[in-house]
Amino acid sequence: MTIELRQVRYFVAVAEQLSFTRAARDLHLAQQSLSQQIGALERQLGVRLFDRDTRGTRLTPAGAAFLPSARDLLDRAEAAVAAVRRAGHSHLELGFLSSTANYMLPAIVRAVRARLPQVTVTTHDLAVADLVAGLRDGRLDAAFTRPPLVADLVTTTIADEPVCAVLPAGHRLAGRDSLRLAELAGEDWVLSPRESWPPWHEKYDRDFAAAGFEPRVVHRAAGVPNLLGLVAAGVGVTRLARSARSIRRSGVAFVPLAGEHAETVLAWHPGRVPAALREVVADLAATVELTELG
Amino acid sequence: MTIELRQVRYFVAVAEQLSFTRAARDLHLAQQSLSQQIGALERQLGVRLFDRDTRGTRLTPAGAAFLPSARDLLDRAEAAVAAVRRAGHSHLELGFLSSTANYMLPAIVRAVRARLPQVTVTTHDLAVADLVAGLRDGRLDAAFTRPPLVADLVTTTIADEPVCAVLPAGHRLAGRDSLRLAELAGEDWVLSPRESWPPWHEKYDRDFAAAGFEPRVVHRAAGVPNLLGLVAAGVGVTRLARSARSIRRSGVAFVPLAGEHAETVLAWHPGRVPAALREVVADLAATVELTELG
DNA sequence: GATGGTCACAGCCTCAGACTGTAACCGCCA
DNA sequence: TGGCGGTTACAGTCTGAGGCTGTGACCATC
């Protein structure tokens, strides 16, 4: 039975700090746990690595001899992990929900190219059902989309933005700073087809029920551009994330709905974690308001 | 959080066998456990290392890229462990119970010098109480002695031999092939002082009680040579491990006591495991009947 | 269709790693 | 000399990971 890298990491931390207390702090674990772990390592090796007393901690000659090898092991392990991750992600297939692609895709691709220059990327502008299918069957490595999705995919929220009522320009409520959903109870509505992604429509049902009305849907159309066109033509109103205004600005007014917001998520299959991509996207999302691009 | 060497070992085993089933067998674990562990590693790395189906297992390009690094990590870890063990045991302080030193010490020292040439050894011929104290306070790395010792030291049995009644030459029972302890109920006895090592004497008490008598101790002397001298002088009988006959052969007769045996143990402090020495001694004990030396 | 082989999922159990609490010891200071 | 602050180690407890067994899904062969 050989040693584990966790033990090596603990040893190196103590060796560098010459203190169990300070090393434990650096390692984010209790001093007592670190003491136990080092003691176990010494028994396992049959070698005392540290001399210690109430005055402090010193490396033994054997401990001092071990330290360079220990550091080398940790460095090589880290390098090997980085290398295999690069090797594993020489290519990424990314799917974007059509309604997010217009503004988010360029920023994501630029960031990936900058941070992961060895990775090539293919992007796909897809409907949500196709994104889910692609993640499940492995054709996509990750997808940028909106929840709710399905239970067997993993998601992390990368942006959050207001949800807006989208009204025809000139609508009597178009000049309001914000609206409540219930104020649109008497309007004609245009929504996407229910079968395009039932989980979303189940959520819409709950939202409308909470607002106390069932929307009078006069037309259904797939895709945000089509919905915006219908609103501009005065066929009805709809409800979209604010970033959708980057798709069409003429003939429509976006008025925030109080208390409502929409998440954008990065989704992936639990068996294929795109670790490097997650990091890049998390960093980008932390520095740029993604929904304001476009 | 980086990977662990255990995971690397599992990966290398599967990569070499191109079979989870065969690799699990080599690793002495269940195929299902190995499958779970490799799956977890892949998720942790965010990289698929193997393609597998019901026909078999193949390395992915990323897995193939990882393999040399993985092997290198394992090799270096093993070398680092070996090196620190050598560094940690450049010198061994070994204690021998006086009654075992005469026959066992040379063989032990020869084996250590052969197998651990980089190790220097200092030997000490001591009474049991001094051996225990030396192990406890760190002056001794290991000791060869007899149980029972104390609960806070670790022991492993390295030899087992018959216990003999030691009778004056010419004693009416000296020609017997074996004796039962109870047959010596009427004899005068010579034993070591109780305070020399109480745990032994407590065991002696139990033994005599089981034999149904309390020995008539007419003289006490410390050390096996002194006891043998007293027996040879006809002062009384005693009981010793058979190997003691190498100390003195004239004037005394060793007759095995049926059903009684004595262990020789290697003892050490749990905080200072002499791993390499254990190995050497275990191998020696497996090939040589230590108690027959002398 | 039965059989044998592969790998993966599910449920369960044990124990290792982590926690908190506290003891023992030492140096410093009033 | 006692109190205080600092160190590391021991003890008891708890949770989750690693391993087990059982079995499913799939494929190739006969």
> How many domains does one find in chain A?
3
Identify the pLDDT of residue A32: 94
Give B155 to chain A, closest Cα distance, Å: 14
Q: Give the whole-angstrom CA distance, residue A109 versus residue A92.
A: 11
Q: Give the whole-angstrom CA distance, residue B73 versus residue B9.
A: 9
Identify the pLDDT of residue A102: 76
Report residue B272's pLDDT band, with 50, 70 and 90 as the boundaries.
Answer: confident
Report whether pLDDT(A167) > 60: yes
Domain containing residue B114: CATH number: 3.40.190.10
Q: What are the two backbone dihedrals, phi and then psi, of residue B153, each rounded to the nearest 5 degrees?
A: -110, 150
Report whether pLDDT(A109) > 60: yes
Report whether pLDDT(B293) > 90: no
Q: Are residues A115 and A149 in the same domain?
A: yes
What percent of chain B shows pLDDT beyond 90?
38
Reported as a single tens digit per residue, the pLDDT across B196-213 is 888 888 889 999 999 999
Q: Are residues B102 and B128 in the same domain?
A: yes
Q: Which residue has the higher pLDDT, A38 or A196?
A: A38
Among A92-101, A253-262, B201-210, name the one with the lowest average pLDDT: A92-101
Identify the pLDDT of residue A34: 96
Give the helix/strand (H/E) hosting A175.
none
> How is residue A127 written in tokens?
């409907």
> How is residue B267 written in tokens?
């003892």
Which of residues B34, B58, B87 is at a domain's end?
Answer: B87
Give A274 to chain B, closest Cα distance, Å: 5
Tally Cβ neighbours within 10 Å of residue A91: 11
Residue B85 has its nearest CB partner, among A47, A79, A271, at A47
What is the chain B residue with the closest CA to A269? B43
Helix (H, G, I), strand (E, B) or coil at A25: helix
Report whether pLDDT(A126) > 60: yes
Pairing of strands A56-59, A50-53: antiparallel
> How is residue A154 written in tokens?
């993993």
Among the listed residues A87, A108, A245, the one whose alpha carbon sits nearest the alpha carbon of residue A165: A245
Reported as a single tens digit per residue, the pLDDT across B237-263 is 999 998 888 888 888 999 999 988 988
**Bases on strand D under 7 Å from any protein CB:** 6-11, 18-23, 25-28
Give A126 to chain B, closest Cα distance, Å: 24
Q: Give the whole-angstrom CA distance, residue B25 versus residue B16.
A: 13
- Residues from chain A contacting residue B139 (CB–CB below 8 Å): none
> How is residue B228 written in tokens?
């043998």
Identify the pLDDT of residue B72: 93
Which of residues A37, A62, A87 is at a domain's end?
Answer: A87
Q: Are residues B11 and B58 in the same domain?
A: yes
Q: Are residues A276 and A243 in the same domain?
A: no
Report residue A110's pLDDT band, with 50, 70 and 90 as the boundaries.
Answer: confident
- CA B26 to mean position of chain CA atoms: 28
Report residue B294's pLDDT band, with 50, 70 and 90 as the boundaries.
Answer: low
ipTM of this complex prediction, to 2 decimal places: 0.59
**CA-to-C1' distance for A58 and D7, Å?**
13
Q: Are residues B166 and B257 in the same domain?
A: yes
Report whether pLDDT(B51) > 70: yes
Tally Cβ neighbours within 10 Å of residue B259: 10
- Residues from chain A contacting residue B274 (CB–CB below 8 Å): 46
Identify the pLDDT of residue A1: 44
Q: Are residues B203 and B109 in the same domain?
A: no
Q: Are residues A165 and A255 in the same domain?
A: yes
Report residue A179's pLDDT band, with 50, 70 and 90 as the boundaries.
Answer: very high
Q: Are residues B151 and B270 in the same domain?
A: yes
Report whether pLDDT(A145) > 60: yes
Report whether pLDDT(B66) > 90: yes
pLDDT, average across residues A216-237: 88
Q: Are residues A171 and A224 in the same domain?
A: yes
- What residue numbers bound the domain in which B288 lies? 90-158+265-292
CB-contacts to strand C (7 A): A 4, 6, 28-30, 32-33, 36-37, 40, 53-55, 271; B 19-22, 31-32, 35-36, 38-39, 52-54, 56-57
Reported as a single tens digit per residue, the pLDDT across A11-70 is 999 999 999 999 999 999 999 999 999 999 998 888 889 988 877 899 998 899 999 999
Q: Are residues A286 and A222 in the same domain?
A: no
Q: Are residues A138 and A83 in the same domain?
A: no
Q: Which residue has the higher pLDDT, A198 or B19?
A: B19
Report residue B88's pLDDT band, with 50, 70 and 90 as the boundaries.
Answer: confident
Q: Are residues A282 and A147 in the same domain?
A: yes
A11 touches strand D (CB under 7 A): no
Identify the pLDDT of residue B153: 83
Which of residues B44, B61, B87 is at a domain's end?
Answer: B87
Q: Which residue has the higher pLDDT, B271 or B128?
A: B128
> How is residue A286 written in tokens?
């932390």
Reported as a single tens digit per residue, the pLDDT across A204-217 is 899 999 999 999 99
Among A193-202, B22-31, B185-194, name the one with the lowest average pLDDT: A193-202
Helix (H, G, I), strand (E, B) or coil at A138: coil
Report whether pLDDT(B43) > 70: yes
Q: Give the whole-angstrom CA distance, residue A290 versus residue A284.
A: 8
What percent of chain A shows pLDDT beyond 70?
99
Q: Give the whole-angstrom CA distance, residue B41 versus residue A5.
A: 15
Q: What type of residue is A29? A: L
Domain containing residue A43: CATH number: 1.10.10.10
- Residues from chain B contacting residue A61 (CB–CB below 8 Å): 87, 90
Identify the pLDDT of residue B1: 43
Q: Which residue has the higher pLDDT, B235 or B138?
A: B235
